[in-house]
Each structure stands twice: as C-alpha cells, then as structure tokens.
A and B are shown apart, each in its own frame.
Chain A
C-alpha cells in the first residue's frame, strides 16, 4: 500500500494522544489507590489538554486524506457496517471526554458524587476518566479495525494489528506523559517512564509477533486466481496503461525492498531500545530533557513504523498491476 502521510500522522497522533490521556487517568487512579501521591488537578488538566491537542491535530491530518473533507460529517452514517464510520463517531467522543475530563480537573469538580464500597469516592473527574478510558479503547479498536478489518490486506487482517495500535499508542502516550511530567518537573516521570518502558516492550512483542506472522504469510490470492488461469508460469506483460493509474498510485509504495528493510530496522531501533535506554538514563541522571527526547525519538520511530505498516501490506489488486508495456 502507498503510505499516506496524512493517515500516518492521524494514527500516530491520536494513538499518542489517547495514550497520554490514559496515562493521566492511570495517574489519577493510582493516586486514588494511594499508590502515588495525588497531583494537582492542573496536572491532569494540562496533560489531557495536550492529549486533546494531539487528537485535534490527528483529526486535522485526517482531513488531508479525504478528497472531499467538507462532507466528512457524512461519514458517521454507516456505523453499523463501517469501522471507519465508527472511528468517525468514536474520535469526537473521545475528544469530548478528554476535554470534559480536563475541564473537570480545571474547574476542580472534585466533590464526590457517590461512594463505592468503603473508600472509593467517585467524582466527576473519575467518572469522566473511566468513560474516556472506555471510549479511548474503543477508538483504538475502531482505528485498528479500519485496517485489521480489511480481509484482503492479509498483513493487516489480524488481531495483532489491534494490539499493535493499542500498545504503540499507549506506549507513546505514556512516554509523552513522562516527557510532560519531566517538563513540568513532576515526580511522576518515573512512574510514567516505567509504564512507558513496559508498554513499549509489550508493543515490541506484539509487533515482532506481527512481523513473524507476516513473514510467513501465504496470500490467498495469486495471479492464477486473479485471472483464473491455471499455470505455474503466468506473468503480466502489460497492465493496460503506460502512465499508471489510481491503482498504481494508491496501492504501491514505489520503494525498493532495501528501503523497506532499512525503514524496518530503523523503527525497530527508534521505537524500542533507544527510548527505553533514554528513559533508563533519565532515571539514573534525573535529567528532565531525556524523557522528552525519548518521546520524540519514539514518535519519530512510530511514524516510520506506520509507514512500514502500510508499505508491507500487499493488496491483491496489485496482482493486476505488475508490468508496464
């Protein structure tokens, strides 16, 4: 597939945004459970607002993918069948909840509404946080299912696509939370950094499993089934248009296998070991810039990972577009 920069940005930005938001909620939950010191509301509010900015930026990027963005509102109508439609509903919902969560913290709407069990005071922020968490997970699933749901793209058609999206998003979000904490001088940087490292490792497992699966993939469609001729030697001579077509632009990355391998190696380094090492180093040196660097490096790596995710998917339609003559 041709990696569209708009979609790469969309998925990585909202993934990180959701992750950051989840990190904020996690921080709050830990604080409620008294595993962590409670932070000022402003911390959660600001973090969530950063998350919101990323979601908005992602949404903005997505418009560049649309031919007719002015009609984007129509996209919500087919939620019964279309994961894309569901994403279009889930994304604003998440944005709303993130915004509301931030607002609640900002306004310090922390009066307990009711109590669960013996000691859990439920306030508006917690309620919104939980709802937002659910919505975020739903959004991860929707976003991932846009890709995982297309059965023709067998590289994508696996639950590992969903886990990748969740763990990459969460890891980069927690990394961002660490960076944010470091930036504002909040001690939670270690907590977020540790979780970011753990999530990164889980993402690594998921992605490596995905790569291993795809390396062994045997595509259902072959050139034989594509044109319905049974013969072991069957090649296309001419695709019918020497100047190419939408089909050659949308479904081919146009890069060499070497480039593909290079990008894969690069993201495997940038997404996994480097940020973990940087976070570790930050832990040791108590540096406030290294976590920021860690996030930046990982996000860059994720952009490459997402590029690679598109490039490595081989669409069966490509069987019809093999040769110009």
Chain B
C-alpha cells in the first residue's frame, strides 16, 4: 500500500515560512478551501493554516542552536484522529494513506483535534468544520498538471529544498532513502501513532586541522627575506 508523506530536513530549514503561505495560497482556492482569516486587518489576526513554522532554541549561550520546525499533519499510519470521529468525516485514504476530512460530513465537534497529539488540525472559525493538511491531494492526483507540478505546494515552494515528498512504503523512494540514510525520525513516537511524515536531524560538518598541516614546504613566506641586511655590523664581520 502506498503511504504518501513528507520528509522535512531540519538540517537545511531556515524558517522562511514559504511552506506556510504557499500552502495557504494553494489550498484556500482549492478543494480544501477556503481557509478563512479572522480579523484579517484588525487587532490580532488569526486564521486557518495547514502548516506552521515554529522556532525553538536548544541549549544555552553560546552553545545555542536555533531550530526552525515546520509542522503540519503527519498523516499517521495509525491516525488516532480517525476512529474517534463520530461521523466518519475524518478518514484515511486507502489508496495513498492521506488523512482527510470530508467537510460535508463534519459536524465540527473538534473531537478529532483532541485526539491528535500534534495539534495538526484546525477548525475553520467561519465554516465551522475541521481542516487540515491534505498533502495537496488536489494537486498530487491532478493528471492535468505536469509531473513536476504534481507535488504539494509547500514542497514546490521550499527554497531550501527542505521538504521531500513521496511514498514512505516504497523502500527505494527518495523519502525512504533520506529517512534511512539521514536518520529520519518520527515525532512523539511514544504514542504509537506511526506518523508517516519524518524529520531529518541536524548534521554538523566539522573540520580538523592537524598542527602539522599548517605549514607546508611551499609556504610562501619562504620566498620572502624575512630579515633585511642594511650594512650594520654582524658577528660574521668581527669574529674569527
């Protein structure tokens, strides 16, 4: 069975929020839209987003790491949000494993959001139904789009290429290889939700310079007279 998912590379994510707004932009006018904004030009604007980029700080100065952390629905293999739904509005697709909400069936009870430890679902404050990341289901399955474009909007937008997309059940897919080779991990593994989305950790390139490497035989300083003789007396002049 196919399980589509994102693999998010924290090693290169610079926290630019491109995935946040490109998602909003595609989806508000798409199958999963609209994505309503509340008080859009007022005091404290808030609205429906399927994807957010958050910032964390690890450690204390000066050994601080700043981690930018994009978060959207993880399309769990065991999605706890699905069985709790009383109407069946929340479902996981058989064909590709994407977890979706049928707005026509949703009664807006929010119970599925309680049953998601990741906070991946947001009630649309105006339409009053639960909304969430669809992996741009209306892009990735739209045969009218070119193959290059048949990807979630966030993946296409990401300037750092920090978002990979593919089938995590296919061991040879780009995403599976990335998870395998770069230590891909799941969020909150303690719950057994088996998130399909994975994250790739930070990796550090270090350099070691052996003191012996510093000076080479062709050191350019050897081409220069580092002392200069201007005619003053030396031992060579006076000793015998």
Contact = CB atoms under 8 A, between A and B. Distances in A.
In the complex, are there CB atoms of A and B closer than 8 Å? Answer: yes
Interface of A: 1, 65-69, 71-72, 74-78, 81-85, 88, 146, 149-153, 220-221, 223, 225-229, 231, 233-247, 250-251, 315-318, 320-321, 325
B114 A239 contact: no
Given A152-B117, A153-B114, A66 B109 contact: yes
A152 B191 contact: yes
Contacts of A246: 48, 113, 121-123, 125
Nearest to A62: B109
Contacts of B229: none
Nearest to A79: B86
Nearest to A156: B114
B67 interface: yes
Interface stretch (B77-85, B142-150, B152-160): B77-85
B120 to A, nearest CB: 8
B56 A84 contact: no
A67 B187 contact: no
B105 A74 contact: yes
Interface residues of B, number: 62
A317 B187 CA distance: 11
B189 to A, nearest CB: 7
Contacts of B53: 240
B26 interface: no
B87 to A, nearest CB: 4
Contacts of B106: 67-68, 71
Given A68-B128, A227-B56, A246-B125, A315 B44 contact: no
Contacts of A150: 84, 114-115
Contacts of A321: 119
A146 B111 CA distance: 9
A245 B108 contact: no
Interface stretch (B57-65, B169-177, B203-211, B230-238): B57-65
Given A228-B186, A243-B45, 14 more contacts: A65-B109, A75-B86, A78-B88, A82-B83, A83-B84, A220-B191, A229-B56, A229-B67, A229-B201, A236-B54, A246-B122, A246-B125, A315-B117, A325-B55
B108 A247 contact: no
B67 A320 contact: no
Nearest to A235: B57
B67 A240 contact: no
Contacts of B46: 241, 243-245
B91 to A, nearest CB: 10
B100 interface: no
Given A74-B87, A146-B111, A237-B56, A67 B49 contact: no
B199 interface: yes
A269 B57 CA distance: 43
A83 B115 CA distance: 12
Contacts of A83: 84
8 contacts: A1-B114, A66-B107, A68-B107, A71-B87, A81-B84, A150-B84, A228-B187, A245-B122
A79 to B, nearest CB: 8
Given A227-B56, A235-B56, A320-B71, A75 B191 contact: no
Contacts of A149: 84
Nearest to A236: B56
A244 B59 CA distance: 26
B107 A71 contact: yes
Interface in B116-144: 116-119, 121-123, 125, 127-130
A320 B54 contact: yes
A230 to B, nearest CB: 9
A67 B59 CA distance: 42
Given A77-B88, A78-B85, A233 B59 contact: yes
Contacts of B45: 243
B179 interface: no
Contacts of B190: 220-221, 225
A73 B47 CA distance: 28
A72 B89 CA distance: 12
Interface in B23-53: 39, 44-49, 52-53
B21 to A, nearest CB: 11
B85 A82 contact: yes
A75 B111 CA distance: 11
A72 B108 CA distance: 9
A161 to B, nearest CB: 14
Nearest to B64: A233
A291 to B, nearest CB: 36
Nearest to B130: A67
Contact of B119 (A66, A68, A225, A320): A320
Nearest to A63: B107
B129 A68 contact: yes
A83 B125 CA distance: 25
